[in-house]
Amino acid sequence: MSSPTFLTLHELVKRARQKLSHDSWDYIVGGAETETTVRRNRLALDSIAFRPRVLRDVSQVDASAKLLGRTLRLPLLLAPIGGLELFAPEAGAAAAMAARQFGIAHMLSSVCEPGLEAVARAAPDALRMFQLYVRGDAAWTDALAERAVAAGCSAFCLTVDTAYYSRRERDIAKRHSRSGPMPEREFQARVTWDDVARIKANCALPLVLKGIATAEDAILALEQGVDIIYVSNHGGRQLDHGRGAMEMLPEIVAAVGGRAPLIVDGGFCRGTDIVKALAAGADLVGLGRMQCIGLAAGGTAGLVRLLEILEQEIHICLGLLGVAAWNALDPSYLHPAAPLGAGDTLGAFPLLALEPNSFY
Ligand code: FNR
């Protein structure tokens, strides 16, 4: 498949917008209610400036990372996204193939085509994880965990910030909201730490909890033997008026104290964003909307290109910070700063001239 040569992330965002309907675009960029949490994700990132160090040898920058015994080319994960078929026909398989080709981790959503086994066949040797929304009883959940094992997944993830499906007004306004009555969604509201303990005991795979937003819950997760803590506010698509991901991270880093790897997502669009997360103590950063944009702009090739540009940005950022590898980075490289802009979802792309958001 030939792909146009995108030179900047701006060009990928622009192409994705040109190729998508207004509905699909709103599904990507939107959030819950006032979309305050969405904006806080960006504001929290934009409220951090760097304190660079100079005159160190940065001729060789190594931005690779390790997770679950595997080496990744960058400390990145393609976050679980439901409905990727809206953006690329091969949906989750297209994303997994990009993760495999580039060399980062992939997490498949349980509400994404073409499903667990087909994605495993498309990218058998990728570092693949499976994320579940609990939409059935204990036997149903345990059976899915078994399928994840059989499909060669490296970890099993429960998303735990979705007890209720939020009101996403961009979707509701168009009368095709996904928030209508769905009886199977009620299972998700009954999930407790007891279920986490049961799944941890029954499932052979490392367990990830996605949607941890406080130090208290991170500690409870560790007590249940959770293997990887995934700090997230669901990209601002669930609880409105939450904290930005980078606001939540420091207390969780302190509480976990290196006892488990930490993934963080929410608003990460640029190489500098990813460097900020790692300086603050995260091990891996999840890409949500940027993954949709890469796929919409050019399928697997578009997403690989997006990752290549992010890699260039990360290498330049690390080099300019005077840091040759992640283990040399720490919070002393970060400094509070007044954000420029209002924290718009695409605020990291100030040169874009998309049409104004004139939905209402
Ligand atoms: C999501 N997210 C998500 N999370 C999850 O656990 N299961 C899912 O099926 C989905 N589906 C989904 C669809 C779309 C279109 C988006 C944008 C997001 C949340 C996702 O995994 C991640 O937490 C956020 O997207 C991270 O924020 P950014 O990177 O999108 O700002």
Segment 300-318, tens digit of pLDDT: 999 999 999 999 999 999 9
Range from 21-30, 43-52, 126-135, 344-353 carrying the lowest mean pLDDT? 344-353
Pick the atom of ligand 1 nearest to 287's CA: 29
- Confidence label for 151 from pLDDT (cuts 50, 70 and 90): very high
Q: What is the tens place of the pLDDT at every residue in 75-128?
A: 999 999 999 999 999 999 999 999 999 999 999 999 999 999 999 999 999 999
Question: Measured between alpha carbons, how far is 26 from 77 in angstroms, rounded to an integer?
Answer: 23
Alpha helices in the chain (DSSP H): 9-19, 22-29, 36-46, 91-102, 116-122, 138-150, 169-173, 186-190, 193-202, 215-223, 245-256, 271-279, 289-321
The pLDDT value given to residue 201: 97
Q: Which two tokens stand for residue 46?
A: 């934009």
Cis amide linkage into residue 261, ω under 30° from 0: no
Q: Which two tokens stand for residue 249?
A: 């991270």
Sign (positive or negative) of CA dihedral 170, 171, 172, 173: positive
Q: What is the whole-number distance in angstroms between the Cα of residue 137 and the centre of ligand 1?
A: 24
Question: Measured between alpha carbons, how far is 247 from 143 in angstroms, rounded to an integer?
Answer: 36
Backbone angles phi, psi at 335, to 5 degrees: -145, 140
What percentage of the chain reaches a pLDDT higher than 70? Answer: 96
Q: Which two tokens stand for residue 298?
A: 């050019």
Which residue ranges make up each domain of the chain?
A: 9-51+67-317
Range from 146-150, 174-178, 250-254, 332-336 carrying the lowest mean pLDDT? 174-178
Q: What is the whole-number distance in angstroms between the Cα of residue 61 and the centre of ligand 1?
A: 30
For residue 1, pLDDT beyond 50: no
Do 84 and 101 meet the contact criterion of CB atoms below 8 Å apart?
A: no
Atom 10 of ligand 1, residue of closest alpha carbon: 81
The pLDDT value given to residue 341: 86
Q: What is the tens place of the pLDDT at every residue in 192-231?
A: 999 999 999 999 999 999 999 999 999 999 999 999 999 9
For residue 184, pLDDT beyond 90: no
What fold does the segment set 9-51+67-317 form as a domain?
A: TIM Barrel (3.20.20)
- Confidence label for 358 from pLDDT (cuts 50, 70 and 90): very low
The pLDDT value given to residue 179: 56
Do 122 and 89 meet the contact criterion of CB atoms below 8 Å apart?
A: no
Question: Measured between alpha carbons, how far is 135 from 140 in angstroms, rounded to an integer?
Answer: 8
Q: Which two tokens stand for residue 193?
A: 């730490």
- Confidence label for 185 from pLDDT (cuts 50, 70 and 90): confident
Do 78 and 98 meet the contact criterion of CB atoms below 8 Å apart?
A: yes
Q: What 3 state SS string does 279-315 have?
A: HCCCCEEEECHHHHHHHHHHHHHHHHHHHHHHHHHHH
Pick the atom of ligand 1 nearest to 265's CA: 26
Give Dmax over CA atoms of the chain in angstroms.
Answer: 61
Question: Measured between alpha carbons, how far is 152 from 183 in angstroms, rounded to an integer?
Answer: 30
Q: What is the pTM of this model?
A: 0.97
The pLDDT value given to residue 338: 97
Q: What is the whole-number distance in angstroms between the Cα of residue 315 and the centre of ligand 1?
A: 26
Do 354 and 11 meet the contact criterion of CB atoms below 8 Å apart?
A: no
Atom 5 of ligand 1, residue of closest alpha carbon: 80
Q: What is the tens place of the pLDDT at every residue in 332-354?
A: 999 999 999 889 989 999 888 77
Atom 3 of ligand 1, residue of closest alpha carbon: 81
Pick the atom of ligand 1 nearest to 236's CA: 27
Sign (positive or negative) of CA dihedral 81, 129, 327, 9: negative
In 10 A of CB 206, how many CB atoms? 20
Alpha helices in 177-288 (DSSP H): 186-190, 193-202, 215-223, 245-256, 271-279
Question: Measured between alpha carbons, how far is 45 from 213 in angstroms, rounded to an integer?
Answer: 16
Sign (positive or negative) of CA dihedral 12, 128, 254, 330: negative
Whole-angstrom Cα Rg for the chain: 19
